[in-house]
Amino acid sequence: MMPAPTTACPPLPAGFGKRVHAWMLAHCVARYERMVAERKRGLFANLSGDILEIGPGAGPNLGYYPKGCRWVGVEPNPFMHRYLREAAARAGLSIDIRTIVAETLPAEDQSMDVVVSTLVLCSVTNPAMVLREIRRVLKPGGRFVFLEHVAAPEGTRLRTVQRILRPVWKRIADGCYPDRETGPSIERVGFSSVQYENFRLPLGPVATQIAGWAIK
């Protein structure tokens, strides 16, 4: 007897997950951006000069930068680049996009006035290396500006939920860890000053967040 024919699902096209992630960041984050708009206005006030942003995604921060700045974005997902260029055009900015990871920043030592990271350190492969790179490229007195979701305090119900969800969350959110202790990691790098606030948003597993700055 001949075996019954089988039908196999065709393989997904290369880069399908990254393409979907780019589309989602471009079209599905308006609610979050409204919730953090006031904090971003405070964090981004008076930034100028040479600015390097890691993981700029679809460009939600571009509207906060002064038009005279020199902006370089490190965005390894090439499907984000179209959205970035569209956001830059709306903001009236000239931008330079580099398709590399944040563990090797495209800047000389002590060459940048500002480095920006929003919702990025949760998903980089080596957070400690990225933070060392940020400190390396900043000029003396340069500023690292960050807004990140972080681990809930130990012993809380949310921390337990974050830990349980971590394996699935990493797969559906492009490598994102819901329980990274990013604040202490920034404090350990060797900045001369670190200041940030802890706050909560109605965002389930990523409700706990920090926003602040560090000075080299």
| Domain boundaries, given as residue ranges, for the chain | 16-215
At 5 the pLDDT is 47
Report pLDDT for 137.
98
Nearest to 184 by CA among 120, 131, 105: 131
Instruction: Return contacts of 204-208, CB within 8 angstroms, 24+ apart.
Output: 205/158, 205/161, 205/162, 205/165, 205/169, 205/178, 206/122, 206/149, 206/178, 207/149, 207/152, 207/158, 208/149, 208/150, 208/151, 208/152, 208/153, 208/158
Adjacency order of strands within the sheet including 50-54: 95-98, 70-74, 50-54, 112-118, 138-149, 208-215, 193-200
pTM of the model: 0.90
- Chain segment 57-111, per-residue pLDDT in tens: 999 999 999 998 999 999 999 999 999 999 999 999 999 999 999 999 999 999 9
What is residue 16's predicted lDDT score, i.e. its pLDDT? 64
Q: What was the pLDDT predicted at 174?
A: 78
Q: Specify the pLDDT at position 27.
A: 72
**Per-position b or e across 137-155, b if 16+ CB within 10 A of its CB:** bbeeebbbbbbbbbbbeee
Chain-centroid distance, C-alpha 140: 23
Sign of CA dihedral 132, 135, 138, 144: positive
The CATH topology of domain 16-215 is Rossmann fold (3.40.50)
pLDDT of residue 90: 95
Per-residue pLDDT at 25: 72
Q: Which residues of the chain have pLDDT under 70?
A: 1-17, 21, 23-24, 26, 28
CA–CA separation, 46 and 64 (whole Å): 10
